[in-house]
Structure 1
Amino acid sequence: MFCLRKLNCCSKCLKSSQIIVRTLQVSNRKKYVKPQRESTQHGTRAHLQVLGSGAPSQPASVYLHCVDKRYLFNCGEGIGRMSQLVGLSLAKISHAFFTQSKWGCIGGVTSVMFSTVASTGFPPTFNGPNNLQKIFQRMSFLSVIGGIFKHRFTDQLFKNERFEDNKIVIEPVELKHLKDTAIIYVCKLKACPGRFSLKKSLQKNVPAHLVANLFRGEDVTLEDGSVVTKADVMNQDWPDLYFIVVDIPNKGFLKELAINAKLKSQLEKIKATGVEVIVHFTPSKVFNTMRYQDFIERVNPKRNLIVNDSNKDDSVKSVHMLQTRLNKIDPKIHPLLSTKLDINPRIFDPSDESSDKYGKIPMLYSKYILRGEPKEDVELETSSDEESSDFEEILKDLNESPKDALPLCTQEVPIKLKDEKFPRILFLGTGAADSYALRNSSGTLVHLTPDHSILLDCGTATCSQINRYYGDEAPEIYRRLKAVYVSHMHLDHHIGLPELFRWRAIHLPTDRQPLRIFCPLDDLKSWLLFYANHVDPIHFDMKFIDNDILIKDQLNLHERLYLNIESMRTCPTDHYRKSYALALEFSYRNGTDMGRFKLAYSGDIGSSDEFVKLGQNSDLLIHEGTFQSELKDYADRHRHSTIAMALEQSRKMQSKHTILTHFSSRYHIIPYIEGELDANTGIAFDYMEVTPDDFPRLSSLYAKYKENFPSAAEQLERKTFNYLSKSEWE
């Protein structure tokens, strides 16, 4: 390594040399293996929390909370958003277990890695099929953000063997069919002594000043001379408890399920104790077969927890409540969601006899309590599985919704694909990369005709958004969709593509036309070909077109006719290497009314004269407004736009109408805008659908949004005041 003292050059060279030295120091640093830490808490509570039920609108995932330890079984795409909506922290997960290496089981792993790395500096350990390490390491190179993972992956993080700590033992049973692998997890919660009971100490008339002595395990003598021992005030001891996690992907595995020697051995060992519950990730078409039912009878569990596609209703109450409130403001622009809300989620509690009325009937329980304590003793346990955040404050407005809001979430919704007008623009995701809860990551669906649609960016859980919005009509949307445009390689703009291919395979015939993918060719093609070779064979279902050829409008005539467009042009932007903005021109027809439409889409962008020229005189500009106008330094640092910058771009472009989107997580419901919006400008929400007839009234809605969400507006005012005060002080 060279010495900087010998360099006699300008300050710019000195700075470059310092960067090189620092890079060499980091690269020579010894790899650090995260030490295993034993728990210091000795509670008894343990429960399974369903993060996603496996319904079309959400992933299938189960979270095991055991005192201060957190374990995760599968994490499909969109798990980050689901965890926020149910108030659980992914950052606390220490171990993740995967039943398969398919996207439906691993698609949300980036959210888990981001959360745990941000909190502890390291991802959790991963347990599953042998090819997980190769897949996850490849995912770490998907964008520059993913680079924070690549030096943290070590061989110790990936395991396919028996797992044991001081709370649980998890034995994997590997099943194979052809080249595919599925893993069953036989889990044992270790026996533990009962906890101190406050109720029993009160029944023994122990005075308050002596209760602490009993809690520490000391015997106490009362005023009447009687002695109260530790054993007198303890709850019952808890024996070993077993549960099994099963995911049989297809009928080809059923023979192996019946004859697998290791599985038979494990079931024989626990036969005397019995199995408390089986968690079924197994899809319904396999679950309902005779062979699988024979397996359930052989295990003979007390209950069956179903986490698969047989669940149809949605469980995300806050999303439905927000949409209901917006629907009251403007029912045309904010239609109700077609997927019904499950307003009576079932919780199994062994201390509540009424929760056991279903017995062995296969059932979705939102929460399954494996071990509990009497309610008066729960407060003695200090750990909590709830995420400490301001999310409850954020949802204050939603919790004050009218009493008729819940019935609206469960009623039959009118058909959305009837008497349509074109073009139609549906916003599926209006949040930035750090947004999960009430705003999904980037995705905008543009309906050109009844048979042609184009998706602008495809962030995480885009397909969940489609399924939740359209319900039973979703298959028609996948049939219409002809192309996806990816503006750049940040995860929040393309990581939803594998899930899109999965739903196309479910709903479309095998002889379907491949999906056109307009993208930064080298990077995205490399990732999707890796995915096709190692996860799901989708080679035949994709056709790549480089965004660079669109710079000079060189899309061939055959593709234009197939997509039903007249022009598709891009220009490079400086947000990230190979990032682009788009201008799309096409003709539309509504009965006898015909016209031409120009749509400009910014993607992620700062100020750009090239984009102003490209989108000149557009009918609609969809522009990112990640930050409020006062945070221009943040915007410049991350090469994003403030709302003021977006409005300035709109004026220079002479766009007829503008819709702002891609808001930072600072703005959970509404963004902060000082003063009035321009008369031709509106703000986007998830599930907002607009046609040209709606554009003129969009600007007037912002005042109504502020009026209907006063807590959110007050919170933004407070945050802005604090930020400006801090800036002035500095």
Structure 2
Amino acid sequence: MSSFQSTGVECKVVARVLANGTYGTCCSVLVSFEEFEDEEVDAVKGLDGSVKRIFGRYLFNVGEGTQRLCAQYRIKSAKISSVLLTRLDSQHCGGLGGFQFSLADAGSPNLSVRGPEGVCDVMSANSAFIYRRWPETSVQSVQSDSCHKAKYEQLGLAQVLSITLGVELKVSECTDKSYCHWCTIDKRDNESSDGSSEESESSSEESDSSSEESDSSSGEEDSEEEKGNHVDDVALCFILRCWSRLHYNGKTPIKSKAREIIFAVVDCPSEHHIRYLTNSTHFVPGKPCAHEIKVMFHFAPKEVVVDSQYQQWLKSFTETRHILVHPSNFKQRSCLADPFPSSTRWTSSLRVAVPGLFPETNVERTAIRVVGGGQDQAFAKGFLSKGSVVCVEDRLLFGVCFQPDDPEPIHLETSAMYSREKQVLLNADAVKMARNAFAEDSNMLDVSDDESLEDDTAKRRRVENVAQVTFLGTGSAKPSKLRGCSAVLVSFGDGTHALMDVGEGVYGQMTRLYGKDGTLNIIKRLRWVWISHNHLDHHGGVGRILDLYSHGFQVGCQPLLVIAPAKIKAYLETYVKSLGKHRALQTYTFYHCSEVWRCIDGAKSCRVIHCHDSFAFAFPVTVEEKPLKKVWLVYSGDTRPCPSMWHRLRMPPDAGMYTILIHEATFDDSMSDQAIRKKHSTIGEAMDAAKHMHAKLVLLTHFSQRYPKLVSNGESQTYDNAVMASDMMVFPLLADQLTYQHENARMQTLLQHLEKSKIS
């Protein structure tokens, strides 16, 4: 061990595609510095199967669902110390708030964030809802007036160049092909280290390469025509330079006697950005020095990639491997890998018990069984040749590994790779396991015939356009593999919709269930959005919804009603303005939760016992037109048992409506102390509230992530009028005074069988 302490430790640098822009995610790459496990290192460590160390991670883009992706693929987000944003919009930074919360919950000490202008305001808006002193954040916006200039800094274990594309940058033909920024930096570092016994990092931190560059290619003023051409949307490209040997503490790279690794992340959003990219002095191939980009990740859409100018520029990098990440470049558009396969497998299993409550999702409808196993081999062979251009297609967690001390330093990292073919097979196994669970239980009906599973509820939904509630997220605090953040979609019989709480990832959940076109149609027909209180897991997805609503907004349309606590108003104003979406400010109207009666006919609200400005509310829902029949829908939000809610939101028995209560049930009854401390409810307390409010039906949600599958609560499983919600459950609001004892019994029986199963 001492030899490694004195000379440093070998590490491999792995760049993985964390998300490819499908199902509400954004193009995202995760770079990890991992301990290199060769025979010598294993001999020192011992062959006890100990977990390899992660020295640091860099994350490019933090879209909605990032923290759930980390949970899905067992990636410790606490090791991510740097976030680099290529664009500042709801798609590429919509998950920043949840990601900050996840790091704070894990006790991460530091986080560096770099992005386009406005990133400081976005981080500040999110930080207002994170009540922790950590992580200590360093946030800087990257600004430049020329595509030939770049922001340079030593950021942790890597040197980073940030190049800006767009917004009236000075552009002229790049003539200085020999200029190399890394040569300039090395020369300066060597000069600054003369007479000193150790490297000085402070000399390189926070420096701007514009002070060192001659910028000879832009010596003359741009023509009037060039000045008039500009791009509204700013995009950043990043070049990372790192090394394969670290000091033993994993905090400082050792540049001498180590292999240099340079790769780039290029985001060129439109054809208008191409000229800024191709004229940058930092993206010039064939330089006389050895500082060549080895791998380039491209986030560009298909219309950019097929452009002749972009193609010519891309092919000029004959020594570089090019990886296309954007989904529009996929050959099989209907063969998209689900970013959250565990949730899909779980939903497929539950459908075996209650098909009427779990309709087939868009992910399952578009599944294609891939025949043959030669595609991955052909993909690997094509990638390994220099100058190659490959598309990741459905290969999530596809990785490029830079190995130390290897004749061929670049390898494919496929051990964790996940493809659509694998998902189809695992889904089939999950359904088979669920059927076997029923077959072993003599009290349950035979489930070998799909037609026998069609219960009255499923048949009725198909023939009638009934109102219904869809549980898009049933978890609490932060998402897990099986449960997303709080969100309930209410669909009215007239084809309009509403959202009750909008946790991070709502848009992605909707696309997985309804498809992209179906989701955009739902968002376009939203009546209102209700946010119950000031916690990120209940409003983290509202920015994306407002952004998409503004895109489909037309003159003469009604602005979307946003009903929320006062603190959310300030958050939305800061968030929307900092993203440059000023138009979105005119596409919604804000009301405080206490004013819900002013904007929703017949609605009531009242304060509940949780954080400051927490509310429950109730409203009538028409379920039949002729004759007119309604139900009284109550949504508790997060709360302790609250007598004021029981009385103020209770519907009188003679009102002609029966009550459906959606109530949080964060803990089981054995954890009442935790419920009191965190101001939540247990299952028993939720059922007690239902008794006080004369509820005919109780839909329990907002379960702690300590219950990944089943919330076991003894007697709670005998409640005839209670259903424990799961993600993707679609519950029809029927006028009949029904009990759901049959459906709930089937689902609970299946859950008990699957609780210890391998479905995850």
Task: Determine which of 246, 262, 266 is the counterpart of 1:246.
Answer: 266
Which structure carries more relative contact order (alpha carbon 8 Å, separation 6+)? 2
1:684 is aligned to 725
Task: Determine which of 533, 542, 556 is the counterpart of 1:488.
Answer: 533
**In terms of mean alpha carbon deviation, does 105-114 or 279-288 score higher?**
279-288
Aligned in 2, Cα 1:594/1:545: closer, same or farther, shift over 3 Å?
same
Q: Kindly indicate whether residue 516 of structure 2 is the aligned counterpart of residue 464 of structure 1.
A: no
SS of corresponding position for 1:137: helix
User: Equivalents in 1 of 2:585, 2:134: separation in Å?
Assistant: 27
SS of corresponding position for 1:436: coil
User: Equivalents in 2 of 1:166, 1:449: separation in Å?
Assistant: 55
2:95 is aligned to 108
SS of corresponding position for 1:299: coil
Aligned in 2, Cα 1:127/1:600: closer, same or farther, shift over 3 Å?
same
**Pairwise CA distance, 1:699:** 3.8
**Pairwise CA distance, 1:126:** 1.5
User: Equivalents in 2 of 1:494, 1:184: separation in Å?
Assistant: 30
1:177 is aligned to 167
RMSD of aligned C-alpha atoms?
Answer: 3.9
Task: Determine which of 256, 260, 274 is the counterpart of 2:276.
Answer: 256
Matches within 5 A, 1:46-445: 46-67=13-34, 68=54, 69-141=56-128, 143=129, 146-149=130-133, 152-153=136-137, 161-164=151-154, 168-178=158-168, 180-190=233-243, 239-264=259-284, 267=285, 269=287, 274-300=292-318, 301-308=320-327, 313=336, 314-339=338-363, 340=366, 353=381, 359-364=388-393, 365-366=395-396, 367-372=398-403, 401-402=431-432, 419-445=463-489
User: Equivalents in 2 of 1:710, 1:651: separation in Å?
Assistant: 26
With the length of structure 2 as denominator, give the TM-score of the two structures: 0.70
The CA deviation string for residues 326-363 of structure 1, in whole angstroms up to 9 with x for no partner, is 11111121112112457779998999648759942433
1:720 is aligned to none
User: Equivalents in 2 of 1:241, 1:415: separation in Å?
Assistant: 59
**Pairwise CA distance, 1:385:** 11
**Pairwise CA distance, 1:325:** 0.4
Aligned in 2, Cα 1:595/1:294: closer, same or farther, shift over 3 Å?
farther
User: Equivalents in 2 of 1:147, 1:105: separation in Å?
Assistant: 24
Matches within 5 A, 1:485-524: 485-509=530-554, 512-520=557-565, 522-524=566-568
The CA deviation string for residues 366-389 of structure 1, in whole angstroms up to 9 with x for no partner, is 2122335999xxxxxxxx999xxx
With the length of structure 1 as denominator, give the TM-score of the two structures: 0.73
Aligned in 2, Cα 1:695/1:415: closer, same or farther, shift over 3 Å?
closer
**Pairwise CA distance, 1:100:** 1.9
User: Equivalents in 1 of 2:139, 2:13: separation in Å?
Assistant: 30
**Pairwise CA distance, 1:512:** 4.0
2:491 is aligned to 447
SS of corresponding position for 2:274: helix
SS of corresponding position for 1:336: coil
The CA deviation string for residues 126-177 of structure 1, in whole angstroms up to 9 with x for no partner, is 1222432232123201x3xx13158934568999842447854332112232
Aligned in 2, Cα 1:481/1:133: closer, same or farther, shift over 3 Å?
same
User: Equivalents in 1 of 2:415, 2:116: separation in Å?
Assistant: 28
User: Equivalents in 2 of 1:117, 1:483: separation in Å?
Assistant: 32
2:214 is aligned to none
2:609 is aligned to 574
Q: Which amino acid aligns with 1:666?
A: R
Aligned in 2, Cα 1:250/1:270: closer, same or farther, shift over 3 Å?
farther
**Pairwise CA distance, 1:256:** 1.7
Contact 2:493 2:622 in 1 (8 A): no
User: Equivalents in 2 of 1:385, 1:362: separation in Å?
Assistant: 18
Aligned in 2, Cα 1:510/1:426: closer, same or farther, shift over 3 Å?
same
Contact 1:629 1:642 in 2 (8 A): yes
SS of corresponding position for 2:83: strand
User: Equivalents in 1 of 2:638, 2:309: separation in Å?
Assistant: 51
Q: Which amino acid aligns with 1:292?
A: Y
The CA deviation string for residues 312-334 of structure 1, in whole angstroms up to 9 with x for no partner, is 52232212111110111111211
Q: Can you give the 5+ residue segments of structure 1 that lack an aligned partner in the other structure? A: 1-37, 194-236, 376-383, 387-395, 406-413, 561-565, 716-730
Task: Determine which of 675, 689, 712 is the counterpart of 1:672.
Answer: 712
Q: Which amino acid aligns with 1:85?
A: Q
Contact 2:237 2:265 in 1 (8 A): yes
Contact 1:350 1:369 in 2 (8 A): no
User: Equivalents in 2 of 1:157, 1:703: separation in Å?
Assistant: 55
